[in-house]
Structure 1
Amino acid sequence: MLQRLIVSSVATVALSGCARFAQLSQLPDGYYSIRAVSNDTLRQQLTMPRMYVQQRTDTLAFTPPATTAAVPPTLLYQLRGLEEVRLLHRSFDLDIFSIPFKALPPRQGFPVQLNTNFNAALYVGRRLDFYRLRNRRLTPFRARPFIRSNGFGYGLFGGLGSSIITPDLTGQHAVTDYEGFTLHGGAAFIYDARLLNIGLAAGVDHLLGPDARYWAYQNRPWIGVLFGLDLN
């Protein structure tokens, strides 16, 4: 019960932090896929699905990719009223994250095990950032751009960790309880809030040392919760 309460509390705090990070004041310059535009005139003028987008206060500048030596024309659009523009940015993602909670399934008569030992990994994958831009009226006389961003990632990871090794978990081959050194790898799905990432990981552990071939969880799948720091 205490372990479930700790997991729930940490997840709540992390998700609350993600909600704060999801609101931006400035759209990063870059190439975006145009997902939706509420203004009919602008929708007709955006003839390419992917364009270079820049934010200039309350105005968006759309520039198509250069296909010739000539400088491509830029389309300017000022956010008005309740009109909305939705964009998608795809990028490469490189993170370092920890796995504070790792659940190992029942094995050889042992119930579900919760591993809270040190686990760290390097993650490489793809990130999808979704942006929704519109004007928010602060007073009857003043409005400012409002940007909401949500990011998701998926990819592979590999890293180092540790696990408690006991005689019972090794068929009585280990002579005492000790903390074994492990390598782990697998796949992860991440909610990306730019500064803080939270997600789920599924992987396997590989124990190093003489008891590896006898360990009940050697190369067996597990599911874990991860927290990470964005490196790019």
Structure 2
Amino acid sequence: MRFIYRLLFFASALMLFTSCEVLNNSSKYNFIDGYYKSKIQSKKPVKYYVVAASDSIKVYPAHPGTKKIDTVGTITIFFPPVEKATSFKAVSFRTETFDLDVFTILFKYRRAVRQFPNQLTTGFNGALFTGYRTDVYKLSYKENPLNLSKRDIAHYGFSVGGFAGLGTARMDEYVTLNRINYQYDAAVVTTGLAAEFGINKINFGLTYGFDFLTDRNKQVWINNGKPWLGISIGLNIN
């Protein structure tokens, strides 16, 4: 168990050192080359292969059931960075992937336990999240005063999955119903489920979890193993 605690602590601390690098390099935040589903030419989502360059975004229809792209016999759709103002309809591209995030839980809401009232705690928490993610890129053109339309791509994503990490919990005579007579910040293992929503580079989540004290007072802590609700904020790392 000590190895697991150390591993979780290292993963949580890694968030503090990699956040800037993640913001710059994570591919999910950028509309890059790859396979996407879109309703650009049909009423139902169809798979396309997108080549996303700065001068022009090219969209090629993909053969159903294969990864072959016919760049000669099919019609290629172009989205230049600037074009004359027209009544352009926004187009969305969607992709589904495995998700790996690091996040911190901003606060936890705990229901009343025994004689102790409802609690709202804000101690340190860091966790790894893994789940199934859907990313959507909405391509549109915004007209400027020169009667030109500039290409704009908005990104958002959502995912569901589970998380595990480490945190702290305040221990004193109140949260142990007077079974200890001293105070300290204890280490807890935190785990549970989360649903995340991302806008560009930041993910916000609703979490449902449990905390488990790692020291000898776990038998007297009134919140040990009890459910809580929380709000998280995090970054994607894959």
Interval of TM-score (by shorter of Structure 1 and Structure 2): 0.7 to 0.9
Give the C-alpha shift of residue 63 in structure 1.
Answer: 3.6
Code of the residue aligned with 1:217 in structure 2: it is N
Distance in 2 separating the partners of 1:194 and 1:114:
29
**Does the Cα contact within 8 Å between 1:59 and 1:76 map onto a contact in 2?**
no
Which piece of structure 1 moves more, 146-155 or 114-123? 146-155
Distance in 2 separating the partners of 1:150 and 1:225:
18
Counterpart secondary structure, 1:98: strand
Give the C-alpha shift of residue 67 in structure 1.
Answer: 6.0
Mapped pair 1:151 → 2:157: yes
Which piece of structure 1 moves more, 166-175 or 144-153? 166-175
Mapped pair 1:230 → 2:236: yes
Counterpart secondary structure, 1:212: helix
Distance in 1 separating the partners of 2:226 and 2:45:
47
Distance in 2 separating the partners of 1:69 and 1:128:
20
Find the counterpart in structure 2 of residue 28 from structure 1: 32
Find the counterpart in structure 1 of residue 42 from structure 2: 43
From the superposition, tell whether residues 67 and 208 of structure 1 become closer, same or farther in structure 2 (CA, over 3 Å). closer
Code of the residue aligned with 1:156 in structure 2: it is G
**Does the Cα contact within 8 Å between 1:173 and 1:211 map onto a contact in 2?**
no
Aligned residues: 201
Give the C-alpha shift of residue 144 in structure 1.
Answer: 2.1
What does the per-residue CA deviation read over 1:129-155, in whole Å, with 9 as the maximum and x for residues that have no partner? 112212222244422222222211211
Find the counterpart in structure 1 of residue 59 from structure 2: 61
Code of the residue aligned with 2:32 in structure 1: it is P
RMSD: 2.6
Code of the residue aligned with 2:141 in structure 1: it is N
Distance in 2 separating the partners of 1:143 and 1:89:
26
Distance in 1 separating the partners of 2:34 and 2:69:
17
Distance in 2 separating the partners of 1:166 and 1:129:
44
Relative to the length of structure 1, the TM-score reads: 0.76
Relative to the length of structure 2, the TM-score reads: 0.74
Distance in 2 separating the partners of 1:217 and 1:68:
52
From the superposition, tell whether residues 69 and 159 of structure 1 become closer, same or farther in structure 2 (CA, over 3 Å). closer
Code of the residue aligned with 2:70 in structure 1: it is P
Q: How does 1:184-195 map to 2 (within 5 A)?
A: 184-195=190-201
From the superposition, tell whether residues 229 and 157 of structure 1 become closer, same or farther in structure 2 (CA, over 3 Å). same
Distance in 2 separating the partners of 1:87 and 1:69:
17
Q: How does 1:1-232 map to 2 (within 5 A)?
A: 27-34=31-38, 36-37=39-40, 42-43=41-42, 49-56=46-53, 57-65=55-63, 72-73=70-71, 74-79=74-79, 81-232=87-238
Give the C-alpha shift of residue 104 in structure 1.
Answer: 1.0
Code of the residue aligned with 1:77 in structure 2: it is I
**Does the Cα contact within 8 Å between 2:61 and 2:69 map onto a contact in 1?**
no
**Structure 2: gaps of 5 or more residues:** 1-28, 80-85
Counterpart secondary structure, 2:92: strand
**Does the Cα contact within 8 Å between 1:27 and 1:54 map onto a contact in 2?**
no
Give the C-alpha shift of residue 58 in structure 1.
Answer: 4.9
**Does the Cα contact within 8 Å between 1:52 and 1:65 map onto a contact in 2?**
no
Distance in 2 separating the partners of 1:70 and 1:33:
15
**Structure 1: gaps of 5 or more residues:** 1-23
Distance in 2 separating the partners of 1:172 and 1:61:
67
